[in-house]
Structure 1
Amino acid sequence: MDRKRRSRRELYTKEICACSIFGAMNREGDRFTGEGVMKAIASMRVRGNGLGGGFAAYGIYPDHRDLYAFHLMFTGPTDPARRAAKQELEAFLARKFDVYFDEEIPTDDSVFVRDPPLLWRYFVLPRKEGEDAEMTEEEYIVREIMAVNSKIENAYVFSSGKNMGCFKGVAYPEEIGEYFMLDRLYRGHTWTVHGRFPTNTQAWWGGAHPFGLLDTTVVHNGEVSSYGTNRWYLEMYGYACTLQTDTEVIAYAADLLMRRQKLPIEIVAKILAPPIWAAIDRMDEKEKRLMTALRMTYGPLLMNGPFAVIIGETGRMIGLTDRIRLRPLTAATRGEIFYISSEEASIRLISPHLDRVWTPRGGEPVIAEMKGYEKGSEESYEKGSEKSYERIC
């Protein structure tokens, strides 16, 4: 027997703690370019690997503020295939929407990105006729977006809100920002950004973050191990998960709970990242009944696995981690600017002197709202429950 022979044990090399997220909001509504957020996310380059990056920007289309801005990617293997997908998409839009303006999304071709698709934007309003006349605009748009993304080959709507847009692709995030010229062409009052390190899913343009539906966007660091259960639940409500990554379910869950069911974010946080049963047992009777009802009603939407997310909406930005905070998140303020990031260093890089810096608690949202933002149903929850979250108004 050869004594020199030894069995070799493969080391576990999967990277499970990377990805970077960053957000900045001016609560007065003043708009600023993407230059600062590009600099901030670039400082966390080591958390990604160049296989995905993207931005969501709010307030960037003031001249078309009353129209829905659809950002489309056409991803066929050849230019004729992409053009054919675009032609089919435009025939679809002609039947379903009034298109007021469209153009190719401007890009800087001197910036290297991997296999860029054909990128186009359309400013539209829904054309509801017949049985559809009773639907809300938003329900109509969501239904048609799901139809495009699941039925028109090589065509994907990746942004669909008013006066906002997502810009994403396969590269480091600062390279995506340069490719779309976000520091030169756009000014927004709220920006979120993501640097990706894919773990379980492929790197492609549609799978980059942010994920968005209407004006809700999500950037995510972590892994949703409950993806299958979450997806099956959302499909019962008409959502089609077509972008081949787990984060997509977070965006659709946020749309279902906050827009369709009009739940306040404080309740949504308890659905996505609920307290463990042992903690619920120690609550007072009123809170125990609420948490038990949420666990029983929305069990399939519990997001298993470690995560930190930034949810963007028009007029609001929300940070949330899993209940035991397995992914980092830091919040800060400087005057009317609110920041949230994977790392404090990236905030201080663009704003060295901060008024306040803190770490949000696991499972508890930190909420920044623009002045004049309408809270809606949040007030009823605040009046009836102990305030266990942070709201920056």
Structure 2
Amino acid sequence: MNYIPSSCGLFGIMRKNDRKKIPGSIPVKCLNSIRYRGSDKGSGYASFNVNQNNHYSINVFYEEDEHQLRSLLEQNGFGINKMEVRNGNNIKSYCYDVSIGDMSSIDNVNDVLWKEGTGRIYSSGTSLDIFKGIGYPDDVGKEYSIESKEADMWLAHTRQPTNSPGYLPYWSHPFSSFNIAIVHNGDISSFGANREFLKSKGVNSFVGTDSEVIAYIFRELLKQYDLITTVKIMAGKIEDPVMKYKNRGAVLDGPYTLVIGYDDGNDLYMICIADRTKLRPAILGEDDGNFFIASEESQIRLISPGARIWTLEPDSYFIASFNRGIISPGRVGIENTNKIKIPDSFQIDAGAIEYNRLNQAILKGDQAITINNVAGHRYVGINFPDSEKDITIYGTLGNCFMNLNENNISTIYGNVADDCCDSMGGGMVKIYGDAGDILCQALNGGKVYVLGNAGNRACIQMREYVDKSTVVVINGKFDDYLGEYMSGGTLLVLSNSARNFGKYIGSGMIGGTIFIRGKVNSRNIGIQPPETAVNGMLNALRKSELITDKEYHKLKGMSFIDMIKFLPSDSRKFVRKFYSGHELPEYEYRYLNSQEKIKLNSIVNEFDTEMETHSTEFLGDKYTIIMPGNY
């Protein structure tokens, strides 16, 4: 089929230290399974083998005579012990075993090569080797015979160029700087500031892609800080104002997911960082032998069907160590909610069917149809007509499931990826597992029931028309921006632990109601001004005698959404510049009233029947009820 590139795709796998090395066939297989995320403009692999060498290796793309390159290396203090020629597509790649007197020699040589326009050292280290070129994952895999190799850790990437050309292998991932390799999906909007930070550290040669600077920033920060502090600086999670200001140019911004491999000489690390609002997917996993990072769950399930899988929490990071295991899981309270079942019988085996053919087979099949072995298939059920199909699916669904659905019923035994039920106008979707980010975007009719958890921005722009009922029930956790810009419908969350609730709930909502069982921290409702700004405002109101000293001390320390309820009416008009009514919804924490109980009883009864749960007893609990603001 003709693939339509959607974004970059990545994969990382690191073995546990008591397990066998990982064959190169695994990263090739897992990356090639999502080749539609990239293009023919570049793919690559990084392998780490600890205790492999007691000497350094460098890989160089070079367009001129090799003797000139050898001379340049020797002039800069490299002692060359061994040389291997690799075919790097349209540029030769030379792999040298060398001795190096000063690590700055690598940057010095790159300065010369890039000014001359003749080449680039693209890999250096004792345990690291990088193989990259132009083509799809299997093309580059064959070019370098990746399947014949093995490693303790692999990173892999398929590329859809956004900020640099794609016709030369210089710009393909991974990018490297001495025993550090990175692969990246997204855009680094802080690229300019990041380059200036590196220039202040003496790094002046860049190939021109935003991804390359990440490896250099990581290297430079590690010269001053430990690993976790370095990760926190890059992720913008440092609280100390002096350190924050000093390293402001090293903070990454923009929509991105980043995977870093790093060998510090004593341990091997695999790291995942995503932007603070997690606008690119990051799937994490673990089984008895390995740790995983992927763009899509199906990549991990392909080689480890029973792996424990979870998503990276917004504003978090994942670190796994070869010697110590998981240092930071990237999410609080990891649970497996995937209720896997094996069908007694099925009409379609999706294992060898591409998504467009799968949709055709479903539409041509019986009114009630069962599909097995779904593995990351995208666009299943998209824009299906109002045909009252009853579809049962076993496996792991890809993005955009049942978008624009009208009056069909779907039951999924497995997890569903991002953008499920987008603009759905009717019918019912039942998910016996977790749902990814952007669940039910612009949902305008029908019912969606989730037995497990929901990701970021669930029910954004959810709405309801006069003649349609729109209902979403989430039995588990949810991440940030639940119900953002919601304009109608009923959204019910049955999980009742505060640690299960994301931030910015109901921000921008203008209609509908969100019911969350249990007490939500009021600071997590809507988008509220920073505490320092609120305290400054209160101080100004006190100095202007719009509030008394007693009122000032009562209000200080409250969340903004609580504080505004107690402000005297004369002072409220001065506060409006801190928020818009849409950003800040209203909320109450209380028992359901009789009308709400009747409404939710009908919803929960059906949820219990369809999802095999027992939730009606929860209707007697207290709920946080969130509605559009009316300040």
> Which TM bucket (shorter chain)?
0.7 to 0.9
* Larger RCO of the pair (alpha carbons < 8 Å, separation 6+): 1
- Matched to 1:313, the amino acid is Y
Q: Cα 1:101–1:156, aligned 2, differ >3 Å: closer, same or farther?
A: same
**Partner amino acid, structure 1, of 2:219:** D
* Runs of at least 5 residues in structure 2 that lack an aligned partner in the other structure: 333-631
- Matched with 2:398 is none
Cα deviation, residue 16, structure 1: 9.8
Asked whether the 8 Å contact 2:62–2:69 carries over to 1, the reply is: no
What does 1:218-297 correspond to in 2, within 5 Å?
218-258=182-222, 260-265=223-228, 267-275=229-237, 288=239, 290=240, 292-297=241-246
- 1:318 partnered with 2:298: no
Select which of 83, 92, 105 maps to 2:72.
92
Residue 19 (str. 1) matches residue 8 (str. 2): yes
SS of residue in 1 equivalent to 2:146: coil
Contact 1:69 1:162 in 2 (8 A): yes
Q: Please identify runs of 4+ aligned residues in structure 1 that moved more than 3 A.
A: 140-153, 387-391
**Structure 2 residue aligned with 1:73:** 61
For 2:95, give the aligned amino acid.
Answer: R
- Equivalent pairs counted in the alignment come to 322
Greater CA deviation, 159-168 or 212-221? 159-168
Secondary structure at the residue paired with 2:188? coil
Alpha-carbon offset, residue 24 of structure 1: 0.5
Q: 1: distance between equivalents of 2:190 and 2:59?
A: 29
Query: Is the Cα contact below 8 Å between 1:101 and 1:123 reproduced in 2?
Result: yes
Question: Given residue 37 of structure 1, which amino acid in structure 2 is its aligned partner?
Answer: P
| Equivalent residue in structure 2 for 1:194, among 154, 157, 163 | 157
Change (3 A) 1:238 1:336: same
SS in 2 for 1:316: strand
3-state DSSP of counterpart to 1:160? strand
Would the alpha carbon gap of residues 151 and 90 (structure 1) be closer, same or farther in structure 2, given more than 3 Å must change? Answer: farther
> 1:314-352, CA deviations, whole angstroms, 9 ceiling, x for partnerless residues?
211101101111110011011120011011111101111
Q: Which residue of 2 aligns with 1:357?
A: 309
Change in CA separation of 1:215 and 1:369 when aligned onto 2, cut-off 3 Å: same
C-alpha distance in structure 1 between counterparts of 2:7 and 2:99, whole Å: 39
Find the residue that maps to 1:345 and give its secondary structure.
Answer: helix
| Secondary structure of 2:155 counterpart | strand
How far off its partner does 1:196 sit? 0.3
Give the corresponding residue for 1:103. Answer: 84
CA spacing shift, 1:333–1:262, aligned 2, 3 Å: same
Change (3 A) 1:328 1:68: same
CA distances 1:221-244 after superposition (whole Å, capped 9, x unpaired):
000112111101101111134212
The answer for the alignment partner of 2:594 in structure 1 is none
2:318 equivalent in structure 1: 366
- Equivalent residue for 2:145? 181
| Percent pairwise identity | 28
Partner of 1:344: 297
The answer to whether the 8 A contact 2:234-2:251 is kept is: yes
In structure 1, how many angstroms separate the alpha carbons of the residues matched to 2:262 and 2:68? 30
| Structure with the greater alpha carbon radius of gyration | 2
TM-score (norm. length: structure 1): 0.76
Work out the CA distance in 1 between the residues paired with 2:331 and 2:321.
11
Report which stretch shifted further, 223-232 or 27-36. 27-36
Matches within 5 A, 1:161-180: 161-180=125-144
**Residue 122 (structure 2) pairs with residue 122 (structure 1):** no
Contact 2:58 2:123 (C-alpha < 8 Å) held by counterparts: yes
Assess if the C-alpha contact under 8 Å between 1:17 and 1:327 holds in 2.
Answer: no
Q: Indicate conservation of the 8 Å contact 2:174/2:182, yes or no.
A: yes
1:130-151 alpha-carbon deviations (Å, 9 max, x no partner):
xxxxxxx43x344434434434
Structure 1: how far apart are the matches of 2:111 and 2:244? 31
Contact 1:148/1:156, CA 8 A, preserved across alignment: no
| Secondary structure at 1:183 match in 2 | helix
Q: Which residue of 2 aligns with 1:4?
A: none
The aligned runs of 1:299-314 (5 Å cut-off) are 299-314=248-263
Contact in 1 for aligned 2:50/2:127 (Cα 8 Å): yes
Which amino acid is the alignment partner of residue 253 of structure 2?
N
Secondary structure in structure 1 of the residue aligned to 2:306? coil
Stretch of structure 1 that moved more, 152-161 or 217-226: 152-161
Shift of 1:31: 1.6
Structure 1 residue identity aligned to 2:286: T
Secondary structure of 1:92's match? Answer: helix
State the alpha-carbon separation in 2 of the partners of residues 363 and 256 from structure 1. 23
Structure 1 position 61, deviation (Å): 8.7
Is 1:58 the counterpart of 2:10? The answer is no
- Structure 1, residues 254-312: CA drift from partner, whole Å, max 9, x if none? 11112x113323x223322225xxxxxxxxxxx84x2x333312112222210101000
Query: Mean Cα displacement is larger for which, 147-156 or 240-249?
Result: 147-156
Shift in Å, 1:363 = 3.1
How far 1:153 moved relative to its partner?
A: 3.4
- CA distance in structure 1 between the aligned counterparts of 2:215 and 2:5, rounded to whole angstroms: 21
Q: 1:390 to 1:371 in 2, by over 3 A?
A: farther
The separation in 2 between residues aligned to 1:337 and 1:274, in whole angstroms, is: 29
Mapped to 2, the partners of 1:318 and 1:145 lie a distance apart of 29
Q: How far does residue 104 in structure 1 lie from its aligned partner after superposition?
A: 0.7
| Structure-2 separation of matches of 1:73 and 1:366 | 32
- Aligned-pair CA distance for 1:163: 2.5
For 2:281, which of 313, 328, 340 is the aligned residue? Answer: 328
Q: Could you tell me how far apart the structure 2 residues matched to 1:342 and 1:319 are? A: 11
Task: Map Cα deviations across residues 52-109 of structure 1 (whole Å, 9 max, x no partner).
Answer: 10000011893xx01111111114xxxxxx22xx32220022231111111112x5xx
Change (3 A) 1:89 1:60: farther
Deviation track 1:200-248 (CA, whole Å, cap 9, x = no partner) reads 2111210000000100011000001121111011011111342121101
Confirm whether residue 211 of structure 1 aligns to residue 191 of structure 2.
no
Given the two structures, how large is their TM-score scaled by the length of structure 2? 0.48
Q: Any residues of structure 2 matched to 1:144-163 within 5 Å, and which?
A: 144-163=108-127
Instruction: Report what 2:447 is aligned to.
Output: none
Q: Distance in 2 between matches of 1:231 and 1:158?
A: 18
Per the alignment, residue 33 of structure 1 pairs with 23
